[in-house]
Every structure is written in structure tokens, then in C-alpha cells.
């Protein structure tokens, strides 16, 4: 009898407790639903207050003065065209003509005198950009961007020279090519002022680069003469074109054939453009 009474007392105490727990659970569920509903309403209000940004325009044409500044030559003309393909994604194409200072201007090893020649180059680049943030509620292409690029630089030079102490017309020349292919990442910032003026700053552009170059010497020089001028000519070439060091390292240059080498590269630029 005592056991039955104790059981009845325990059951009497447990039922109200279970009811309280059920009420608390229901109250928690209701509060959660109310909170989710309030969050949804708040998000809708935020979207109404700050609707998705639409670009002012979808195109930017730019002038790149960086090669002109690097090589101090006003004939180094480079332009690029950027096109938005989505509200915060774009692709751009760059093309330019490069002209370099005179390669070598004096006598080499007391054997040959360098004359005027021709030198020129081109640069091409294809970029993809993603604009993750807007600046002061301004749409892309204004703001910070990250992306990837592939670029190509091609250089060619040819200089005629006179062989000293001879009156015979030798038709001698030094000719070379340097080709650089870069694949890398980019980080930069583009400002759009008054919805039209663009200032594009590519600040960080590391890359993996393939350098390929060739040099050749033509003319009636015997092997002893070529050996005498090799080292001095190589030193002058490397001083004028430091990138050749990436290909030839500490090896002796040979004026026949070609060589290639992988190395690290870097890209940066300043561009001014028109947003339309």
C-alpha cells in the first residue's frame, strides 16, 4: 500500500512538470519562428533600402602609360578595353607597341663598331577580374578587384656593325629576339570618378613566366675574333636587357640557336580611361 501511494504521489508531481516542459518547448519554437520572421522582414527591408547595384556603364577604354614611363620613350603606346560580363565580373584585352633605346652605341673589343639598327616589340594581355566589394555604394568596375591574366611580350632588335681595319663591305649584323609568356594572378583597385573617368591601379601581379630568346651574329668574322668579342658583347646585352639573365644565367651566350627557361615574373601598371 505504501508503495502504491508513493507511486501516485510521484505521478502527480511529474505530470505538471511535463506540462511545463511542453509549454517551454512550444514557447521556444514560437520565439524561434518569430525571430526568423523578423530576420526575413529585415532582409527584405535592407534589399529595398539598398537594391543590387547596377553598373553605370559596361565598358572602359584605357591608355597605359607604364611602358612609356619604364623605357622613357613616348612611342611606347598601349591601350586596353575592359568589358563587364556580369555586375561584378569583367574581361579585358590589352595591346601595345614597344620601342626601345638604341642597343649598343660604341666599339666592341676594338674589333667592331655598332651602327644604328631597328628595335621594336609588342605586348598583349587577356585579363579576368572579379570585383567582390563596392566602394561607397558605387558599382563595378569601381573598387577592389582580384583576377587572373595571361600576357605576352615580344622584343626584336637588329644592329648592323662595321668590322674595323678592313675596307671590305662585310654586311655584318647582330640580331636577337626575346619572347615572354606570363600566367599569373592580379590584385588592384579601379576608381571611377564622375561615372566616366577611370583610374586603374594594378598593384600586385605575380606570375610564372616562360622566357625564350635567341641571338645570332652574321658577317665575315673568324672564330678567334668571335671569341674575343663574345664576353664584352654579352655584358653589354645583359646590361641593356636584364631579362636575358633569366635565360642564359651565368652561361656564355652563343650567337646561334635559341634557349628557353621558366622563371618568376611580376606585373604592375597604371591606366587612365573613359567609362562608357
Do 150 and 256 lie in a common domain?
Answer: yes
Give the pLDDT score at 163.
63
Q: Which residues of 86-99 are buried (b: 16+ CB within 10 A; e: fewer)?
A: eebebebebebebb
Enumerate residue ranges in the chain where pLDDT < 70. Answer: 1-52, 100-116, 161-171, 219-238, 240-258
Count other Cβ atoms within 10 Å, centred on residue 104.
21
59: enclosing H helix or E strand: strand 59-63
Do 185 and 218 lie in a common domain?
Answer: yes
- Whole domain around residue 184: which residue ranges? 59-275
**Which three cell numbers mark 23?**
509549454
Do 37 and 123 lie in a common domain?
Answer: no
Decide if 203 contacts 189 (C-beta within 8 A): yes
Q: Number of structural domains, the chain?
A: 2
Give the pLDDT score at 5.
53
Give the pLDDT score at 105.
60
Do 17 and 41 lie in a common domain?
Answer: yes
Q: What is the DSSP letter of 106?
A: S
**Confidence (pTM):** 0.70
Give the pLDDT score at 233.
66
Do 137 and 44 lie in a common domain?
Answer: no
Do 36 and 74 lie in a common domain?
Answer: no
pLDDT digits (tens, 9 = 90+) for 255-268: 555 677 888 888 98
Angle at 128 between CA 125 and CA 131, to 5 degrees: 135
Decide if 124 contacts 98 (C-beta within 8 A): no
Q: What CATH number does the domain containing 79 carry?
A: 2.40.160
Do 47 and 65 lie in a common domain?
Answer: no
Q: Of 51, 70, 92, which marks where a domain is finished?
A: 51
Q: Which of 266, 150, 247 is nearest to 205 (CA)?
A: 266
Give the pLDDT score at 236.
67
Do 78 and 178 lie in a common domain?
Answer: yes
Give the pLDDT score at 228.
59
Do 101 and 172 lie in a common domain?
Answer: yes
Let me know if 58 is exposed, middle or buried by CB neighbors in 10 A (0-12, 13-18, 19+).
Answer: middle
Give the pLDDT score at 140.
92
Q: Which of 126, 131, 128 is nearest to 145 (CA)?
A: 131
28 Cβ neighbours under 8 A, 6+ residues apart: none
Amino acid at each position: 500500500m505504501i508503495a502504491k501511494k508513493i507511486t501516485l504521489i510521484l505521478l502527480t508531481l511529474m505530470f505538471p512538470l511535463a506540462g511545463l516542459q511542453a509549454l517551454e518547448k512550444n514557447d521556444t519554437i514560437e520565439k524561434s519562428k518569430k525571430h526568423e520572421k523578423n530576420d526575413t522582414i529585415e532582409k527584405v527591408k535592407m534589399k529595398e533600402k539598398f537594391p543590387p547595384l547596377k553598373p553605370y556603364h559596361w565598358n572602359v577604354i584605357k591608355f597605359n602609360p607604364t611602358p612609356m614611363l619604364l623605357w622613357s620613350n613616348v612611342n611606347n603606346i598601349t591601350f586596353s578595353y575592359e568589358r563587364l560580363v556580369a555586375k561584378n565580373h569583367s574581361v579585358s584585352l590589352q595591346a601595345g607597341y614597344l620601342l626601345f633605346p638604341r642597343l649598343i652605341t660604341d666599339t666592341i673589343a676594338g674589333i667592331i663598331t655598332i651602327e644604328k639598327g631597328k628595335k621594336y616589340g609588342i605586348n598583349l594581355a587577356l585579363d579576368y577580374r572579379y570585383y567582390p566589394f563596392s566602394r561607397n555604394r558605387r558599382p563595378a568596375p569601381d573598387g577592389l578587384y582580384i583576377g587572373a591574366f595571361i600576357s605576352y611580350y615580344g622584343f626584336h632588335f637588329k644592329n648592323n656593325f662595321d668590322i674595323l681595319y678592313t675596307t671590305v663591305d662585310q654586311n655584318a649584323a647582330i640580331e636577337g629576339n626575346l619572347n615572354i609568356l606570363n600566367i599569373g594572378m592580379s590584385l588592384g583597385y579601379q576608381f571611377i570618378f564622375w561615372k566616366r573617368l577611370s583610374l586603374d591601379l594594378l598593384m600586385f601581379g605575380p606570375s610564372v613566366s616562360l622566357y625564350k630568346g635567341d641571338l645570332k651574329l652574321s658577317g665575315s668574322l673568324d672564330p678567334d675574333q668571335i671569341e674575343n668579342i663574345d664576353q664584352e658583347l654579352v655584358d653589354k646585352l645583359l646590361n641593356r636587357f636584364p631579362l636575358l639573365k633569366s635565360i642564359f644565367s651565368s652561361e656564355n651566350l652563343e650567337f646561334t640557336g635559341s634557349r628557353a627557361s621558366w622563371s618568376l615574373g611580376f606585373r604592375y601598371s597604371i591606366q587612365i580611361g573613359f567609362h562608357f
